Amino acid sequence: MRDDYIKEAQKTIADPNVLINVVSRRVKQLKRGSRPLVESLEKLAPEDIALREVIEGKINHELSEV
């Protein structure tokens, strides 16, 4: 994973635990064949794609209260 993507994604999702959960769930989806929601000229790992999706606001995280 690229450190610059992690730092940028933390500006969108400040809680590291939530960020990890969101990214790991999206990585699983990408590895199962889901299409990336962002375009890139370079070949990115699924982890970096998920981080870019968070940075660009393509992935939304919602915390529900119990």
pLDDT 10s digits, 16-37: 999 999 999 999 999 999 999 9
Q: Report how many domains make up the chain.
A: 1
Task: Give residue 64's pLDDT band: very low, low, confident or very high (50, 70, 90).
Answer: very low
Is 62 within the bounds of a domain?
no
Q: 27: domain range?
A: 3-55
CA distance 64 to 46: 26
| Cβ count within 10 A of residue 21 | 13
Percent of the chain with pLDDT strictly greater than 70: 94
pTM of the model: 0.87
Is 64 within the bounds of a domain?
no
- The whole-number pLDDT of residue 21 equals 94
Is 63 within the bounds of a domain?
no
Residue in 21, 63, 26 with CA at minimum distance from that of residue 48 = 26
